[in-house]
Amino acid sequence: MGTRIAGTGTYLPRSILTNHDLEKLVETSDEWITTRTGIKERRIAKEESVVDMAKEASLSALGRAGLSPKDIDVVIVGTLTPDKRFPSTGCLLQAELGMEGGYAFDLSAACSGFLYSLEVADGLIKAGKAEKVLVVGVEKLSEIVDWTDRSTCVLFGDGAGAVVLERSEDESDVLASEMLSDGRLWDILYADKCGYIKMKGRELFKVAVRNMEEACRKVLSGAGISPKDVSLVIPHQANVRIIKALAEKLGIDQEKVYVNIDRYGNTSAASIPIALHEAIEEGKLKRGDVVLMTAMGGGLTWGATLLRY
């Protein structure tokens, strides 16, 4: 028995904030942001709540899967920017979708939130506890960004990505996964209760490349798959230089690495499901292909998932 992606969807807020717009807010330049991060613009949720974005992405994923919300057994939402302290975004989403039965919850793992959620969903499906699971990564980071701090405000954006997972009847499956965390390093990247994102960028950069590489190597060797047999790598979109360094270390051609950070910046838990959806829509990921996903975020948390689509 395996786990298969039945459908994916996204929601990106309409409002776009470009690097040139940021030049008017803080002492920065399009040139600095582009060369240091690869980001050109990001989306800002002005009218949309976190639940609104999660709902739109979920409906799109359900539509592509040919399913209705009533078919879903479990909803897992990866987010660090919930609308309310409680109830969870998952429960609010469950109500918005008009679901009856099943259960919903949030998972807090910062930028690794989507991969951690996928890990739980895969486990529930393989344990026979659920047949269809809706996994959402959604963030409204614009609410916890200090718009006077140029070292962080240029990096983040808002958005949502959703994936419907179901029991697989074919070769599609999660082939291997590796989730890790090290709480001792929490203060490299955090936000206090009601506070803004604080980040030791340079330190994080080095740890990110090293940890993601290690997790990727573990899943590849665990599944007995060589880097050359990977069709596509979908890394968390935090910095294009991190992404390039990672591909280089893994010996994977940059052409096989999906990048959309230029348009959305770092959307934390939403970044991988947004990229996954776009890669599928653009025909860069086809049924039977092997995709390697990897993330690194606050916690510190990190991981990698190898999946046959």
C-alpha span between 253 and 243 (Å, rounded): 11
Residue 196 sits in the site that holds ligand ACO (CB under 6 A): no
Contact, 40 vs 259, CB < 8 A? no
The CA–CA distances, whole Å, from 97 to 79, 89, 151, 235 equal: 18, 12, 38, 29
Q: Which is nearer to ligand ACO, 141 or 280 (CB)?
A: 141
CA 233 remoteness from chain centre? 13
C-alpha span between 110 and 300 (Å, rounded): 9
Residue 24 sits in the site that holds ligand ACO (CB under 6 A): no
The single-letter DSSP state of residue 240 is H
Work out which of 89, 168, 172, 266 binds ligand ACO, going by CB under 6 A. 266
Q: Which amino acid is at 111?
A: C
C-alpha span between 276 and 1 (Å, rounded): 23
Residue 154 sits in the site that holds ligand ACO (CB under 6 A): yes
Quickly count: other Cβ atoms within 10 Å of residue 36's Cβ: 15
Residue 110 sits in the site that holds ligand ACO (CB under 6 A): yes
CB of 118 to ligand ACO, least distance (A): 17
Short-list 232, 236, 225, 206, CA closest to 304: 236
Contact, 82 vs 107, CB < 8 A? no
Work out which of 62, 99, 160, 208 binds ligand ACO, going by CB under 6 A. 208
Residue 201 sits in the site that holds ligand ACO (CB under 6 A): yes
Residue 298 sits in the site that holds ligand ACO (CB under 6 A): yes
C-alpha span between 175 and 219 (Å, rounded): 8
Work out which of 32, 105, 190, 196 binds ligand ACO, going by CB under 6 A. 32
Q: Which is nearer to ligand ACO, 150 or 284 (CB)?
A: 150
CB of 31 to ligand ACO, least distance (A): 9
Q: Which is nearer to ligand ACO, 193 or 228 (CB)?
A: 193
Of 84-92, 119-127, 146-154, 173-181, which segment contacts ligand ACO by CB under 6 A?
Answer: 146-154
Short-list 139, 128, 131, 129, CA closest to 162: 139
Work out which of 85, 184, 193, 202 binds ligand ACO, going by CB under 6 A. 202
* 19 carries an active-site annotation: no
Q: Measured between alpha carbons, how far apart are the two ends of the chain, in Å?
A: 15
CB of 135 to ligand ACO, least distance (A): 18
| Count of residues near ligand ACO by CB under 6 A | 24
- Return the structure tokens found at 33: 């942001």
C-alpha span between 148 and 22 (Å, rounded): 10
Work out which of 72, 99, 118, 204 binds ligand ACO, going by CB under 6 A. 204
- Cα-based angle 211, 222, 126 (whole degrees, multiple of 5): 105
Residue 205 sits in the site that holds ligand ACO (CB under 6 A): yes
Of 58-66, 130-138, 270-278, 290-298, which segment contacts ligand ACO by CB under 6 A?
Answer: 290-298
Active-site entry in 19, 91, 236, 239: 236
Active-site entry in 111, 211, 216, 277: 111
User: Could you list the residues that contact ligand ACO (CB under 6 A)?
Assistant: 28, 32-33, 36-37, 110-111, 150-151, 154, 189, 201-202, 204-205, 208, 238-239, 242, 266, 268, 296-298
